[in-house]
Structure 1
Amino acid sequence: MNILLTGGLGYIGSHVAVVLTEAGHRVTILDNLCNCKVEVLSHLAKILGSSPIFIQGDVRDQVLLESVLKDGKIEAVMHFAGLKAVGESVQKPLMYYNNNVGGAISLLKAMKICQVKTFVFSSSATVYGVPKYLPIDEEHPTCPESPYGQTKLHIESILRDLANSDDAWNIIALRYFNPVGAHESGLIGEEPNDIPNNLVPYISHVATGKFDKLKIFGNDYKTLDGTGVRDYIHVMDLAEGHVAALNYLNKKLPKFSIINLGTGAGYSVLELVNLYEKVSSRKITYEISGRRAGDIASCFANVDKAAFLMGWRARRSLHEMLEDSWRWVSQNMTIEL
């Protein structure tokens, strides 16, 4: 199939580009480069033997989108283009609604005009908010606690309404838990432009000497070691989940589905720190601080629906996640000895 990846040079999109291409699909990437580097394209070429088609542009440019969809004979779209920093979304909510919700609307309008109605949406487990029970299944109540989370939930509502309005649409919203790791080649991985918002990139910066220490917020939770527990999933497992989602959509079954992508297991902050020390052979200095407002003890997914509907389960271990993360970091960032 001819598939358009919006935001396809970003962390998730670039790994999905690899697995889609290796599965025989023809990938076109649209990215405005606001949170990634164009050099990712040459890294993809090294992995794949040739570079995907790349168009620099903004997902809010509907005229450009229509041209890309028509010229590329696009048959399905995977939508990764979106701002994703929770803290920034609290400070700049209008920017997040404009980019995330506005961009999704522009894209869907262009798709409707071009009669492209197969769509995979990059959503997030943040839409669930504070867990009411564990593991979190897709029927869990939604109550996002940030503008970022609200944008994801708004887009999901738009997609549900769109599917209800026209049986030709086939849509899946994939709710990611916590993607980590990198491609096994070490050529692509997570590279935040600023101070990392996520735990593993921050740990890796401590390992390289870029940061002096990791601050752990709370060690008095009701968990095995007192630190917060989360569901971490290897980015390549996540990417393979998108191929499974596309295969499921091509069966023309339910017109709109919401599916969790996680491992179904939780790992604590200290578990990650200790294992990262082993895979990197570097000391991860940390200090314990007080809990942050809104932080929770544990959060992990029920992934039975993905297994039942798509035949997909995460296969890679936490050790592989961190080993691949360290390979990417050690090959691509300056390490201060």
Structure 2
Amino acid sequence: MMEKSKVALLVCKDYGEKHVDQAIKEGMDLLGGAEAFFEREEKILLKPNLLGKASPEKAVTTHPAVFKAVGKYLKEHGYNNLYYGDSPGNPIGASKVAAECGIKAPAEEAGILPADFSKGTQVSFDEGKKEKQFMISNGILECDGIINLCKMKTHQLERITGAAKNIFGAVYGLNKGAFHAKYTDADSFAEMIADLNNFLRPRLHIMDGILAMEGNGPQSGTPIKMNVILMSTDPIALDTVFCYLINLKPELVPTNRYGYEYGVGTMKAEEIEILTADGERTIEEAAETYGNKKYDVYRGTDKKTQIRLLQPIQPLLQKKPYILKEKCVKCGICVNSCPLEKKALELREYPKYDYSLCIRCYCCQEMCPQKAKLMDRNWKI
């Protein structure tokens, strides 16, 4: 019988140090302890989600309490060669984003050193099915193993962003925009993400779902309590459990589909074992006990399964970004974040879109610090 992918599900109702420490310890114990993943002399990188400058209560980035608890656990168990970092889309740099998000202070307190995310190196991955070349931040390449500290959020392109998608932060700097320009739809982008996961192979994935984000994620959505931390060695199984908790079919998430197809992990419920402090649960039982069926996430059918008769009016049904002028401060970050050589928007009195150029990558929405970008269907605007 094939061994199932184990996902530890820990209830944690707030970010109090005692509660988060206990949840991380329970999860590590359920999965076999840190020694199941790392040798003590290895150089371990903690890779949080540091999308951009945002305070922890906005649920944009990995909460510093979760980061601190993981570092504390490792230190207490003899793992002292610890580093941290991420390559945010914001051009201000990893160090400033880490400070704004509350990650830098606990890292310094615990002696967790910043890894080098100021430079990148071109690497080849001949086994890649969609992408065989990546520009990876040096801090990633210099470590022996990665702990992926992801955030439970919605995402305009892939429906959700979790364990699999968070690894995209390993790509150095503005090269992320080049991938958005190269892979302009959710499916091809997810294929690249699957190759990236197979190349980097993080040892452990820990999802901060105590305060999650629903709606217009990954930066402009609404914080919502989910009261859970998920942990697994299998990023696709972890993201699949996330999907079940929010009443979303896992196969509708492209990063799940291609992650499964490319051998990153499994999205089959019968191949996933849920471990809790109160014993094992089926994935359906976990969804019923710990989930939120009303979580605001797009559950419509994938475009590949849409009725053929609707194809002529597909442009009217497609989401597009638009500006909330009352929130826009005309900073120009949205224009700079557009990955196209010929930008799909320009800064006039306010940013203005040329929708004939827009590839719907949602980088503008993702990087807007004012939540001044929303998505909607053309016919509603």
What's the TM-score once normalised by structure 2's chain length? 0.31
| Bigger proportion of residues as helix | 1
What's the TM-score once normalised by structure 1's chain length? 0.33
| Bigger proportion of residues as strand | 2
